[in-house]
Amino acid sequence: MTQDRITLKRPDDWHLHLRDGAMMEGVLPFSAAHFARAIIMPNLVPPVVTGADAARYRDRILDALPNGASFEPLMTLYLTEDTDPTDVKTAQESGLIKAVKLYPAGATTNSASGVQNFDRVRPVFEMMAEIGLPLCVHGEVTRSDVDIFDREAVFIDEVLEPIRRTTPGLRVVMEHITTAEAVAYASEGGPNLSATITVQHLMLDRNDMLVGGIRPHFYCLPILKRGTHCHALIKAATRGNPRFFLGTDSAPHATDTKENACGCAGCFTAPVAMSCLAEVFDEAGSLDALESFTSLNGPAFYQLPANEDQITLQRGTPIDIPKEIETDAGPVTVFNPGRPLHWRVV
């Protein structure tokens, strides 16, 4: 019998870009509508590098929430080679931050302040291991001699494995994984390792982005990979493995900066994320695993309680996906996977 309705504990988003200012004010309501909490990315300009920065950014997010919205921003710090371990510890002990974010320098949007010399941040890693604070990693090397489709696998071998070997107690989230190699590594990495998976990497492969013309709104980093990798991600997400959970990596850019000769990386998935995920899990015959992926596995790794409130999704006629949302920073194109979405939050 086809299941047409499912009720879940309210989901969380363990990787979210809200930007700042007018853009944040425009996109925040779409995450707050469905998600109870979100790990907020710190790659602003300038980045969120200190506890004081994070406190101010959190206040701006809370001030921008729609009246009556229930949404908790879980703050992170942007790791630089000058990060002070004491400041990180103080921010964590106060309850302000839930993770530190590692961007290899130049890996993605606003990552120029990221890490080049990993030996310089070893004291931060050691302190984080001591206090149990997770490290969220953008897992790509940035060397020009490494093909963009291979950067994740090379990062695991050259960067992540050495970090975990030299700091064995460090808790790590491999964010927005895109390859079968990353699935295998996360699956075998022990209790201190987990991984998030995005909406677009569960729904698309690189053919969707490139065949028949370039589709700039499918361009993201890490970049879409072969279909075989997409299938590996779907299996990881839909089989209930507690090491994998949702991080949408919803990343808004004004439409004209995407439809550009040098377009920005990122997919704005927040308005349709739950519809997309229900479609993927339904197609896989795994709707019973959707709650684990969206609502249970992430809180368990971050050592937080699951949400008590619930949301319900209903299957029916295809939803109308808006082409854009309007913000005072310009229109933002909404992610559209190019196939019908039959599930909606009711």
Quick one: CA dihedral 98, 104, 109, 110, positive or negative?
positive
Other C-beta atoms closer than 10 Å to the C-beta of 55 total 15
273: part of which helix (H) or strand (E)? helix 273-283
Residue 239 is which amino acid? R
Concatenated DSSP letters of 299-328: HHHTT-PPPSSEEEEEE-SPP---SEE--T
133 to 175, 182, 295, 299: CA distances (angstroms): 15, 22, 20, 14
Residues 6 or more apart in contact with residue 76 via CB below 8 angstroms: 39, 40, 41, 42, 48, 54, 97, 98, 99, 100, 101, 136
CA distance 292 to 313: 15
Which neighbouring-strand residues pair with 333?
Answer: 324
Confirm whether 208 is a catalytic residue: no
Which candidate, 228, 265, 298, 202, places its Cα nearest to that of 10?
298
From 13, 53, 87, 249, the catalytic residue: 249
CA distance 261 to 203: 25
Q: Which residue's entry shows tokens 């490139």? A: 210
Inter-residue contact 105 to 112 (CB < 8 Å): yes
Instruction: Give the pair of three-digit tokens for residue 212.
Output: 């028949």
Which neighbouring-strand residues pair with 38?
Answer: 13, 73
Residue numbers annotated as active site: 249
